[in-house]
Amino acid sequence: MFLTGFYLVGPIAHELGHLMVLRAENCIYTSYYSFNMFSGLRGVFEPSCSLSTSKQYLFYLSGYGLTLITGMISLFIGSRVDGRNWIILGLGSLTSIAASVTLEGDLHSIPGFEGSELILSGTILILTASASVFGVEKLIRKEETELK
């Protein structure tokens, strides 16, 4: 389940985040997809329309945002039901954020962020790590209750 979250669910959520912004703007785009053993499914969306600076921020950050939300929803579902697999799936999705932050891509394309990628990367990784710690804690608690 972890690998499913890492290779598929997290990356698909990431790309859907970008797609939602483009669809909301009625923007025509071209897309390319690839699969990498180290980072899973990856896509590139090239908008054919002109996006304002604020829409560009939204476009480039929406992938991380939707992946974070998807991972946290999976952790939440796993903590509410007897679903260890949901937690593991969420952890895989959240870990995919770390893989995509380290690659050249969205963060390097944000207007005006030359040299500031480290600050933004750090913030995204801290949010991801916090959610992952929550997920690991829930997973450990589920294991402890099963052992009792």
For residue 56, the Cα-to-chain-centroid distance in whole angstroms is 17
- Residue 118: the pLDDT is 61
What percent of the chain is helix, strand and coil (3-state, nearest 5)? 70, 10, 20
pLDDT tens-place string over residues 111-123 = 776 656 566 667 7
Residue with tokens 């949010």: 127
Residue 61 has pLDDT above 80, yes or no: yes
Grade residue 134 by pLDDT with cuts at 50, 70 and 90: confident
CB 91 within 8 A of CB 77: no
- Could you tell me the pLDDT band of residue 104, with boundaries at 50, 70 and 90? low
Paired strand residues for 35: 41
Q: Which residue range forms the structural domain that includes residue 62? A: 2-147
Q: Which of 54, 73, 76 is nearest to 65 (CA)?
A: 73
Confidence of residue 84 (pLDDT cuts 50, 70, 90): confident
> What's the number of domains the chain is made of?
1
pTM: 0.77
CA distance 147 to 134: 20
- Does the pLDDT at position 143 exceed 80? no
Residue with tokens 């959520």: 13
pLDDT tens for each residue of 35-45: 888 778 888 88
pLDDT value of residue 111: 73
Mapped onto helix, strand or coil, the DSSP state of residue 3 is: helix
The CA-based angle 54-94-15, given to 5 degrees, is: 45
Q: Tell me which of 107 and 30 has the higher pLDDT.
A: 30
Q: What are phi and psi of 30, to 5 degrees?
A: -115, 150
Cα(7)–Cα(137) distance, integer angstroms: 23
